[in-house]
Amino acid sequence: RSSMNCCFSLTDQRLTERFVQQARERGLINLRGHGARGGIRASLYNAMPASGVERLATFMEEFAEIYQNRSDSARNRLSVDS
């Protein structure tokens, strides 16, 4: 796997769909993971400007803050693939 692909998963498929949808609404596109693997994949090749990476990181922090602080947070915690 390429080190330029940042792959991660959310513990709940509904959150994954919500993440991809809300990211798309913010102009962050093509984040759906590989068809066979699922999850989320951000490709950070040369064409991705640093500002795009910063926007994605900010969105991820905001999304995590919203969904980790809900009463059902134990079920909705983000998990990073190893």
Across the chain, which has 82 residues, the per-10-residue mean pLDDT values are 81 91 94 85 84 94 85 48 44
b/e code 39-66 from CB counts within 10 Å (16+ = b): bbbbeeeeeeeeeeeeebeebbeebeee
pLDDT of residue 40: 94
**pTM for this predicted structure:** 0.75
Which pLDDT score is estimated for 73?
46
* 76 and 68 Cβ atoms separated by less than 8 Å: yes
pLDDT of residue 34: 79
* pLDDT for position 76: 45
